[in-house]
Amino acid sequence: MSTQSDNQTVSSVKRSSGWVIFVFFLIGLIASLISGWIAFPKLLYSTRQQPIDFSHKVHMGVVSNGCQSCHYFRDDGSFAGTPTNAECESCHMYPMTSDPDENKLVEEYISENKEVPWLSYAEQPPCVFFSHAAHVKGSDMECATCHGDIGHSDSLREYQENRLTGYSRDIWGYNMLRMGEAKHGQRHKMNDCAACHLEETGSKGDCFQCHK
Ligand code: HEC
Ligand code: HEC
Ligand code: HEC
Ligand code: HEC
Ligand code: HEC
C-alpha cells in the first residue's frame, strides 16, 4: 500500500521536474537565440563616421570625367582606389561654401597637407588578393555590382567595424537572420566572391587564386 503511493509521488515529482527542465531549456534556447542573433552582433560592431561626409551626387554634376575623375586606373593598370587630396585640390584649395564638411576638408586636410583618413567599406584582410583591373577592365563589370550605388549617393553611409577583427562589416557579413543586411552589392565576403566566380566561370577557383 504505502510503496504504491510512494511510487505515485515519485513519478509525479519526476513528471513535474520534466516540465521544469523543459521550460528552463526553452528559456535558455530563446535567450541564446536572442543573444546570438540580436545582442551579439550589436555588441560585435562599433559604428564609426567617415572623417568628412561626401556627396557623390553633387560631384558627379561638377567633375568633367565621371567616376574616373577620382577613381581611375594608373598607367601600369593598377587601380588608384580611394581619392587623395590631389583629386580635390583643383577645386577646394580655398573654402568655396559654408558647408562644414567642405571647410574641414580645406582647413584640416588640404591646407595642412594631410590626407583624409577615409574608411574603406570593402577593404580586405591583407591575405586576400583582389584586382580591380581583372574585374572592371577584364570582365567589364559595373562598380555598382559589387559596391551598390554609392556613386550616386548623397552622403557616405556609416562604417561598421568588427570589434574583434577590426574589419568592415561588409566583409564579415551580417547576422544569421540577415537583419540589417545591406542590399545586394555591398558585401565582399569570401562566399560572395566564390558565388559569383562559380556563376561566371563554372568554378569557385582554388585558394591561391584569391589568397597570398
Ligand atoms: C571639379 C571641381 C571639384 C572637385 C574636383 C571636387 N569638388 Fe567638392 N565640391 C565642388 C563644388 C562645386 C561643391 C559645392 C556644391 C554645392 O554646394 O552646390 C563641392 C562641395 C563639396 C563638399 C560639401 C558638400 C558635400 O559633398 O557634402 C565636400 C565635403 C566636398 N566638396 C569634398 C570634396 C572632396 C573630398 C573632393 C576630392 C575627393 C572634392 N570635393 C573634389 C567641386 C569639386
Ligand atoms: C570628386 C571625386 C569623386 C568622384 C567623381 C567619384 N567618387 Fe567615389 N568616392 C570619393 C570619395 C572622397 C570617397 C570616400 C572614400 C571611401 O569611402 O573609401 C569615395 C568612395 C567611393 C566608393 C567606396 C569604396 C569603399 O569601399 O569604401 C565607391 C564604390 C565609389 N566611390 C564609387 C564611385 C562611382 C561608381 C563613381 C561614379 C558614378 C564615383 N565614385 C565618383 C570621391 C569620388
Ligand atoms: C568584383 C567586385 C568589384 C567591382 C566590380 C568593383 N570593386 Fe571596388 N572594391 C572591391 C573590393 C573587394 C575592394 C577591396 C579591395 C582590397 O581591400 O584589396 C574594393 C575597393 C574599392 C575602393 C577602396 C580603395 C581600394 O582600392 O581598396 C574604391 C574607392 C573602389 N573599390 C571603387 C570602385 C569603383 C569606382 C569601381 C568601378 C569602376 C569598382 N570599385 C568596381 C570590389 C569591386
Ligand atoms: C559579381 C561577380 C564577381 C564578384 C563578386 C567577384 N568576382 Fe572575381 N572575377 C569575376 C570574373 C567574371 C572574373 C574573370 C574570370 C575569368 O576571366 O576567367 C574574376 C576574376 C578574379 C580573379 C582572377 C584575376 C586574374 O588576374 O586572373 C581573382 C583573383 C578574383 N576574381 C578575386 C575576387 C575576390 C577576392 C572577390 C571578392 C572580394 C571577387 N573576385 C569577387 C567576377 C567576380
Ligand atoms: C574567390 C576568392 C577566394 C577563394 C577562391 C578563396 N578565398 Fe578565402 N577569403 C576570400 C576573401 C575575400 C576573404 C576575406 C573575407 C571573408 O573572410 O569572408 C577570405 C578569407 C579567408 C580566411 C580568413 C582569413 C582571415 O584573415 O581570418 C581563410 C582562413 C580563408 N579565406 C581560407 C581559404 C581557403 C582554405 C580557400 C581554398 C579552399 C579559400 N580561402 C579560397 C576569398 C577567397
Each residue of 174-184: pLDDT tens digit? 544 454 444 44
Pocket of ligand 2 contains residue 83 by CB under 6 Å: yes
* Domain annotation covers residue 112: no
Q: What is the pLDDT of residue 179?
A: 46
Residue 140 lies in a domain: yes
Spatial separation of the C-alpha atoms in residues 158 and 182, rounded to whole Å: 12
What is the pLDDT averaged over residues 143-152? 89
The model's pLDDT over 39-73, given as tens digits with 9 standing for 90+, comes to 776 778 889 999 999 999 999 999 999 999 999 99
Cβ–ligand 1 contact at 58 (below 6 Å): yes
Query: Residue 64 falls within a domain, yes or no?
Result: no
Q: Are 192 and 148 in contact (CB under 8 A)?
A: no
- Is any atom of ligand 3 closer than 6 Å to the C-beta of 81? yes
Q: Would residue 126 count as lying in a domain?
A: yes
Between CA 79 and CA 83 the distance in angstroms is: 11
* Structural domain contains residue 98: no
The tens digit of pLDDT for each residue in 81-95 reads 999 999 999 999 999
Is residue 193 assigned to a domain?
A: yes
Residue nearest to atom 42 of ligand 3 (CA): 146
Q: Are 166 and 44 in contact (CB under 8 A)?
A: no
Would 40 be classed as within a structural domain?
A: no
Domain assignment present for residue 182? The answer is yes
pLDDT for the residue numbered 183: 44
Ligand 4 touching residue 139 (CB < 6 A):
yes
Between the CA of 211 and the centroid of ligand 5 the distance, in Å, is 7
Instruction: Give the range of the structural domain holding residue 139, as residue numbers without chain letter.
Output: 120-210
Name the closest-CA residue to atom 34, ligand 1. 88
Number of domains in the chain: 1
Cβ–ligand 3 distance for 162 under 6 Å, the answer no
Indicate the pTM of the whole model. Answer: 0.89
What percent of the chain clears pLDDT 70, i.e. is strictly above it? 84
